[in-house]
Copies of this chain bind each other. A is one copy, B any other.
């Protein structure tokens, strides 16, 4: 069991002042102003050599606070909290067949299309125009065309909405593998379309693809030059090393494109604990920082991030792109999925793991300051920290009480849908934070589509 601790007064004060940029440990000390620090964070250099984008799926401000309270204590700070430039962005989708009629609660496909292409689209659409259904160019495609190395990493299936918006164009997000095309009959290869998300993913020539979803890539291609092969075989024919565990990931070499498929479906959760339930809910508890269903050979998101950065930044003789820089997206996907499932320990474990991945990138960027790092979410979600519960006053949904790093109870409520049903995304604006060249573009209130321009400007592509 982990140690529980109470904050010391000195500890809390030191942390708070650290964020005021003070170097002493007493409140009221002179020169507590951070203006110079914030100004310094606005990098004068126009372009970034590298861009690393972290998407916490469903990671609204409430989800961040829940994870912080649990893991670091209320006065503690996550790695993602340390990004120096911050703002909020709006996340709405638009109705299908329109470019301008809002749908106030977005899914990951429409929101991902927003940040990946700079265009609003409808829920379920993967980087296609909401009216014409024409493909919309993504930031990954632009980066690739300009000679940057590219990477796409997720804890979901690689064909799930967030990774897919970067490397696929399809009218419905469900069309993940060649055998999943029933709802997209006109988009199959044999119909003259671009094919399933899995096929499009391996055809893009992306340097590093890491995540789950092996089941999609094991399906057999039904049209085009690779008909009769599985998508994995297609990937191998296109020059990919295909690996399925940490050892394979470790052995990969920077000269060869890498497809890591570490799970048949979504990757395994990091943590386990009681599901939320109607009042009075389960007894107060800590989370179990492991998951018996997770194989020891399955890499963690921080491991995948470290290896992706290593491979994308490696110098390779005669490979111009290797010196040009890279664009890498890293998604913590199951924050959302466990919020849907009313599973606070699952949700927090995934948020903490995403934060570990962010720390990996921050450490790397400390030695490679020409790197833009952005951390945001695609949409808000359900979970709320609420007051102490009683028979007369309690959440009408499901609750769980977690004992945090402070040794104190935190009540988390899931009540955007009936208990046992998939909880709802929410339409709230969400946090965006950044450091490095062009990071100042995240400050203030922007729209999710603005992130495409922030990334594009940073890479010198507009």
A residues neighboring B (CB under 8 Å): 6-9, 11-12, 16, 19-20, 27-30, 32-35, 37-39, 42-44, 46, 60-62, 64-66, 68-69, 73-75, 77, 81-88, 90, 92, 95, 99-105, 118, 120, 380, 382, 384-387, 392-397, 404, 406-408, 410-411, 413, 415-419, 421-422, 424-431, 433, 438, 440-441, 443-447, 449-450, 453, 457, 462
Contacts and interface: CB of A to CB of B under 8 A. Distances in A.
Contacts of A418: 392-394, 396
B34 A424 contact: no
Given A75-B90, A86-B88, 8 more contacts: A9-B100, A20-B450, A35-B44, A39-B42, A102-B404, A105-B386, A396-B418, A433-B444
A445 B81 contact: yes
A116 to B, nearest CB: 14
A139 to B, nearest CB: 12
Given A86-B443, A396-B397, A431-B88, A416 B384 contact: yes
Given A443-B443, A462-B28, A74 B92 contact: yes
A396 to B, nearest CB: 4
Nearest to A37: B440
Contact of A46 (B33, B406, B425, B431): B33
17 contacts: A7-B100, A7-B102, A32-B457, A33-B441, A37-B440, A38-B440, A39-B39, A62-B427, A103-B408, A384-B426, A385-B428, A386-B417, A386-B427, A396-B415, A396-B417, A415-B415, A443-B443
Contact of A393 (B12, B84, B422, B450): B422
B86 A74 contact: no
Given A74-B102, A394-B417, A69 B427 contact: yes
The 6 closest A-B pairs by CB, nearest first: A385-B427, A415-B415, A74-B102, A81-B445, A38-B440, A62-B428
A393 B406 contact: no
Copies in the complex: 2
A65 B450 contact: no
Contacts of A433: 444
A422 B462 CA distance: 51
Counting chain B CB atoms within 10 Å of each CB, which of A30, A35, A37, A118 scores highest?
A35
A396 B393 contact: no
A212 to B, nearest CB: 25
A359 to B, nearest CB: 15
A27 B415 contact: no
A289 to B, nearest CB: 21
Counting chain B CB atoms within 10 Å of each CB, which of A43, A415, A431 scores highest?
A415
A387 B430 CA distance: 17
Contact of A387 (B28, B425, B462): B425
A103 to B, nearest CB: 8
Nearest to A95: B408
A28 to B, nearest CB: 5
Nearest to A386: B424
Contacts of A102: 7, 69, 73-75, 404, 406, 408
Contacts of A385: 104-105, 426-428
Contacts of A84: 443-444
Given A20-B450, A39-B42, A81-B445, A65 B8 contact: no
A44 B33 CA distance: 11
B397 A105 contact: no
A69 B426 CA distance: 13
Contact of A443 (B38, B74, B382, B397): B38
B81 A444 contact: yes
A42 B35 contact: yes
A250 to B, nearest CB: 34
B441 A386 contact: no
Nearest to A409: B104
A404 B104 CA distance: 10
Given A27-B118, A427-B410, A450-B19, A7 B101 contact: yes
